[in-house]
Structure 1
Amino acid sequence: MRAMILAAGLGTRMRPLTLKTPKPLLTAAGKPLIVFHIERLVAAGVERIVINHAWLGEQIESALGDGARFGVELLYSPEGQPLETAGGIRQALPLLADREGDSFLVVNGDVYSDIEPGRLKRMELNPDSDAHLLLVDNPSWHPGGDFHLAASGRVLDSGDSRLTFSGISMLRASLFTGLVSGEPAALAPILRQAMSAGRVSGEALDAYWDDIGTPERLSALDKRLKGES
């Protein structure tokens, strides 16, 4: 199994913490945020992890190396400028998939979840799906949500009740092969197009989750992991 950790953001909401340190290397309970992802993916059976980076990306490569100490192969996809989510995946696609039908896990580097590794291991795509999304209850800072999860397990762009995309998904390579490598592209329009064709499935994530996008949320996670909250 292969996976990608999205780590190319500029970390502007985290400033001043990210002026000299890339956001994935900020720590909670003494551990870099990206290491939580790596360890959970390895426990789920992932054998290769691709990490894209831009801002201070050389620090990420220096800190993590080739992945041997984690028991996984780490590969890097440097971006001269952030290519957005879909653009970053497209550039890294040769490292993630050998065939258009291949699928891989994708995790936003700036989220944290207590999701069980076994749950990640079971995220396989059905033949009639090109994406499988994990959705969470809407946090206070995103009350409108992103997508509707139907009773059938299909994820739709319309519906009375919406949930928030967790940033954890299983995606098929064919979603990205039509993009031009090296050009920025957002993921949401690609997902919405697949939703209109009925090819996106999903489920609610029943584990702790948060977007660690601000110093305040990083501090809250640090306290939670230390048992102080």
Structure 2
Amino acid sequence: MHITAGPGISRAFILGAGLGTRLRPLTRVLPKPLIPFFHEPLVLHSMRRCYDCGIREFIINTHHLAEAWDQVFPERSWNGCPVHFSHEPVLLDSGGGVKKIEPLASAEEPLLVINGDMAATFDLHRVMEDHLRHRPAVPLALRSSGDKRNVGFDFSA
């Protein structure tokens, strides 16, 4: 499989392989990103945010209950965009999942890596614009308020 992209950031790698242990017993029947959230799988919230920012191709890593993804994406597409799966027979964790899809990535074409099990409200468009403007090696969007106040995001870098 070869993935091509247009200008800007047009591909996203969605982290979907986790075990979702904190949501058991729900995750005994569905992977955490496929748990319904406002009447649709949680992963679709992340995908919609990506789509609104120009993402037109998705790669999702799978592990736990991988066959459940076929029910959500039987045509391997969503909203007219291809959806590829990178199955991990042995859970590789976040960094390992990204390493596994390295042959699909390109230094010339940025790849957005985003969790598939969150309903975040940060300004993803702004993060992507900032990345394209400043070209840091790896921009991170992290929480800067709430219970865990030990991280932040600096748009001025």
Verify same fold: TM over 0.5. Answer: yes
Pair 48,123 (structure 1): closer, same or farther in 2 beyond 3 Å: farther
Larger relative contact order (CA 8 Å, sep ≥ 6):
2
Aligned positions of 1:61-210 closer than 5 A: 61-95=70-104, 97=105, 99-116=106-123, 118-119=125-126, 121-125=128-132, 129-140=136-147, 142-143=148-149, 145=150, 147=151, 153=157
Q: Secondary structure at the match of 2:27?
A: coil
Normalising by structure 1, we get a TM-score of: 0.57
Q: Determine which structure has the larger strand proportion and give its number.
A: 1
- Aligned amino acid, residue 113 of structure 1: A
For 1:69 and 1:152, the matched residues in 2 are separated by 34
2:65 maps to 1:56: yes
* Structure of larger gyration radius: 1
Pair 120,129 (structure 1): closer, same or farther in 2 beyond 3 Å: closer
For 1:12 and 1:44, the matched residues in 2 are separated by 31
Post-superposition offset of 1:62: 2.8
Deviations 1:171-208 (A, max 9, x none): xxxxxxxxxxxxxxxxxxxxxxxxxxxxxxxxxxxxxx
Q: Which residue of 1 aligns with 2:23?
A: 14
Pair 29,151 (structure 1): closer, same or farther in 2 beyond 3 Å: closer
Aligned positions of 1:36-51 closer than 5 A: 36-51=45-60
Post-superposition offset of 1:70: 1.5
Post-superposition offset of 1:128: 5.7
Gaps of 5+ in 1: 154-229
For 1:103 and 1:45, the matched residues in 2 are separated by 12
For 1:37 and 1:21, the matched residues in 2 are separated by 17
- Aligned amino acid, residue 138 of structure 2: A
Runs of 4+ in 1 over 6 A off after TM superposition: none
For 1:77 and 1:59, the matched residues in 2 are separated by 14
- Aligned amino acid, residue 57 of structure 1: A
Gaps of 5+ in 2: 1-9
Pair 89,69 (structure 1): closer, same or farther in 2 beyond 3 Å: closer
Pair 132,31 (structure 1): closer, same or farther in 2 beyond 3 Å: same
For 2:135 and 2:13, the matched residues in 1 are separated by 22
Percent identity over the alignment is: 30
